[in-house]
Amino acid sequence: MFDSVTTIGLLLTLVMIFSFQGNTILEKPLHIVLIAVPLILQTFLIFAIAYIACRVLKLPYKIAAPAGMICASNFFELAVAVAIALFGTTSPAALATTVGVLTEVPVMLFLVKKNANKTKDGDADGKLDAWASGLESACFRWRIGAGPLTCISRRA
């Protein structure tokens, strides 16, 4: 129940920001492009760096790919909340964070689509199991005071 309420709240917030920023979006579309393009490039670059670092450390694919996804995530939901609280819904900061959300989601979906289907055994069920296991390892084995690459490889 709570998940659907938060999702609806986030979507309504985005709609509200775009309604307040409608003139800026229509009058200055170059500003949207100047916000979106670096964010897209950054997401791909950070994913690649994290994934390659995990593979260099000889972490298994089921850990390396989700770790890349987690590192590439920008936590724009928090950024939207902070921008609205500090600067208001009509601020350029609110617009930038909203564009961030709307660019990050398709990029992350693309990365999942391209990477979730790569397993060495070729088993369709194993692909999802490998990702679920990797996400579980990456998310639940995080230790305070240690970096992500050392923590996600530890056994609980």
Only one residue has tokens 């964010």, namely 39
Q: How many CB atoms lie within 10 A of CB 106?
A: 11
* Number of other residues whose CB lies within 10 A of the CB of residue 13: 18
Using 50, 70 and 90 to split pLDDT, how confident is the model at 139? very low
Residue length of the chain:
156
Flag whether pLDDT at 104 surpasses 60. Answer: yes
pLDDT > 80? residue 152: no
- Quickly state the pLDDT bin for 86 (edges 50, 70, 90): very high
Q: Residue 47: what are its φ and ψ, rounded to 5°?
A: -60, -45
With cut-offs at 50, 70 and 90, classify the pLDDT of residue 121.
very low
Place of tokens 């950054």: 42
Q: Are 21 and 98 in contact (CB under 8 A)?
A: yes
The b-or-e profile of 122-156 (16+ CB within 10 A means b, else e) is eeeeebeebbeebbebbeebeeeeeebbebbbeee
The pairs formed by 4-8 with CB atoms below 8 angstroms and a separation of 24 or more are none
Strand locations in 96-141 (E): none
pLDDT-derived band at 118, boundaries 50, 70, 90: low
Which H helix or E strand runs over 99?
A: helix 92-115
**Residue 152: CB partners within 8 Å, gap ≥ 6?**
54, 59, 63, 67, 137, 138, 141, 142
pLDDT-derived band at 129, boundaries 50, 70, 90: low
Report the share of the chain in percent with pLDDT over 70.
71
Query: Scanning the structure block, which residue is given the tokens 């989700």?
Result: 66
Highest mean pLDDT: which range of 3-12, 122-131, 139-148: 3-12
How confident is the model over 11-47, as pLDDT tens digits?
787 787 778 778 878 888 898 899 899 999 999 999 9
pLDDT score for 16? 78
**pLDDT at position 140, please?**
42
**What pLDDT does 47 receive?**
92
